[in-house]
Copies of this chain bind each other. A is one copy, B any other.
């Protein structure tokens, strides 16, 4: 599928009688962050019970599961992954027992020093049961963290442990006594705290707090550990914050109704659309979004340009995993089945189409083709982010380079490939100018500059070199 896969969504509740049910509801709100597996672990203060499985939250949990897990503290997880890494044993939270008792761990992000951590652990006798890739059998980051927690030197020193992790991690840890939330010093992945009448909730996105009517308090700070237990909430700083928030959360991943890094996602996207209208203007009769991703930016583009907003596409929400691809005559792509163009709207019109990304280009091309067949006179494509050219080492599962059209082709060729009349991307500067603190964002996937320490860059470089071997040219600046 021609989509950018995200890693995970986290949700935890402590101190509410129906914590498990709240986590269940919260996971529904975070389902867009991971459709591959779902899990909940909960505790009654003495032991941890859990349930997880492959598929959507709605398929994984039956009423009897929720009843069995009913407790006053619980954490949950939803997970994405590409084909081949998708196995039951990789579903989270990961629950285990070590010298201090039971513990459950849920993780969003990606460590950049997994391999060296694992090598050290194996030397000491560690046994790994998860696998994140078919080929090199790397254990999941959660399992590595679990093993580190069990090491004598870290057992009473979570701060020290977290300092030794490099890369992106937003974490939820549940023990029979407390729920712990932590976020890496760069704050790559979001994580926020909400207040409940009798307790607290922690979520990847604030939309999940709304769902259970928790009051949004604040983000977990980069470099912060938050302990939530019987005596309330206690904060600790394990490393100084040096924010490099993932800007793709704002552009693409997060739900429009979420507050991410202190900003509302929909409003940010409207600003991106407005900026795009400024940077890439065009004379046209209407602005139409590619739903759902382009909805907010198209509204911004329309208001900034004065070109009326219209509805050119209708989305079919029923096309899902069970759709059987036709294999005869005209081969309609599943992706194409998802949208239909409204002929009466676009016939004879000059149309600005706003979307949030172009990955491989094939899905985009077939969608714009729908407009053409529906009679559009001109098609001007506007993308609310810069061309995406570099790999991400912090938790976004981009395709390999050849599959990123912007990484291997210049703008004119892409325009030609898409068979559209013009194509405009937002600039990196334009993008950052729409945020309230431009210097606090990671734009590595657009610019190739990675916000990581020297030692880590080496690791990243290894990956990058592999990447370069395949398609050449990009630079990594430390």
Contacts and interface: CB of A to CB of B under 8 A. Distances in A.
A337 interface: yes
Nearest to A265: B342
A324 interface: yes
Contacts of A89: 89
Given A99-B122, A264-B342, A18 B314 contact: no
A125 B121 CA distance: 9
Given A18-B328, A58-B323, A139-B97, A296 B311 contact: yes
B314 A256 contact: yes
Nearest to A338: B28
Contact of A303 (B57, B151, B308, B319): B308
B59 A255 contact: no
A150 B122 contact: yes
A230 interface: no
A330 B211 contact: no
A329 B321 CA distance: 35
A131 B88 CA distance: 17
Given A211-B332, A326-B18, A337 B28 contact: yes
Interface in A252-310: 255-257, 259, 264, 266-267, 295-296, 299, 303, 308-310
A341 interface: yes
A125 B128 CA distance: 13
B266 A345 contact: yes
Contacts of A310: 299
A63 to B, nearest CB: 5
Contacts of A432: none
A234 interface: no
Contacts of A321: 58
B256 A95 contact: no
B95 A314 contact: no
A56 interface: yes
A97 B131 contact: yes
Interface string A1-39: 000000000000000111001101100110110000000
A96 interface: yes
A129 B267 CA distance: 44
Contacts of A295: 311
A313 to B, nearest CB: 8
A311 B211 CA distance: 18
A102 interface: yes
Nearest to A94: B129
Contact of A210 (B137, B257, B340): B340
Given A28-B316, A28-B318, A31-B316, 19 more contacts: A18-B328, A29-B340, A58-B320, A58-B321, A58-B322, A61-B324, A89-B89, A95-B129, A96-B128, A97-B137, A97-B139, A98-B127, A99-B122, A207-B314, A257-B314, A257-B340, A266-B314, A267-B344, A309-B309
Closest 8 CB pairs of A and B: A58-B322, A264-B344, A257-B314, A99-B122, A18-B328, A31-B318, A21-B326, A125-B151
Interface of A: 16-18, 21-22, 24-25, 28-29, 31-32, 47, 56-59, 61-63, 66, 88-89, 94-99, 102, 122-129, 131, 137, 139, 143, 146-147, 149-152, 207, 210-213, 255-257, 259, 264, 266-267, 295-296, 299, 303, 308-311, 314, 316-324, 326-330, 332, 337, 340-345
